[in-house]
Amino acid sequence: MDFSGKTVLVTGSSRGIGLAIAHAFDNAGANIILHGRSPLKEEVISSFNKTPKTLQFDIADGEAAEEALKALYKEEAFEGIDILVNNAGITKDQLAMGMKLEDFAAVVNTNLNGTFNVTQPIFKKMIRQKHGVIINMASVVGQMGNAGQVNYSASKAGVIGMTKSLAKEGAKRNIRVNAIAPGMIVSDMTDALSDKAKEMILNEIPLSRFGTVENVADVALFLAGNDYMTGQTITVDGGLYI
């Protein structure tokens, strides 16, 4: 796919799935805007074909998100964002009976409210420019639930609902909104699991392997390029949620 001339913002793109998606769009010719809560490392920035713009703010802070995006749109010669990938998120896992209220609120505030904090100002601009693509990172646990992740599951189920509503609101202005629901993807989190825990999870996955960040990035490119898909959630989980 060729995304030459398109500008893509990927939140939470300092590593993992977000970085893989940013690299995929970069390799397809797009102009990339990276985002992180902390300053991005030079080796990340230098890994792109074209030097990307960078943004730094906490998506859970609505005012900070609005100010950063407002400043971006005011930059001379900046023509706007064509594709937004809402990838940033956090986890604070614990069984429900032992979960602190502040940990439940923190995950929902970042993953759900934070996604809206970034999306709303960009969605307004997309309405005016009469085109745009938004891809929200959900999760298979937002579809099927998971013990120890009541906060994360709730936040990602909310993202799926938000995706469907935004798709209906944006359709008449040529704005498509879809979501990706990854399953177990090779990451720092899966690397930290014990061999026993990995074996238990793999026994639940029909394809008997974890996915890669590239598997998710491929779907992001597909959703950005297919102009007759909106309001959908594409599950990338090796068959876990069958």
Catalytic residue numbers?
Answer: 152
Confirm if 117 and 108 have CB atoms less than 8 A apart.
Answer: no
- The region, left, alpha or beta by phi > 0 then psi within -120 to 50, assigned to residue 58 is beta
Confirm if 124 and 65 have CB atoms less than 8 A apart.
Answer: no
| Cα–Cα dist 222/179, whole Å | 12
DSSP state of 55: E
| Cα–Cα dist 151/147, whole Å | 10
Residue 193's Cβ-count burial label (10 Å; 0-12, 13-18, 19+) is middle
Supply angle C-alpha 104, 17, 50, rounded to 5.
130
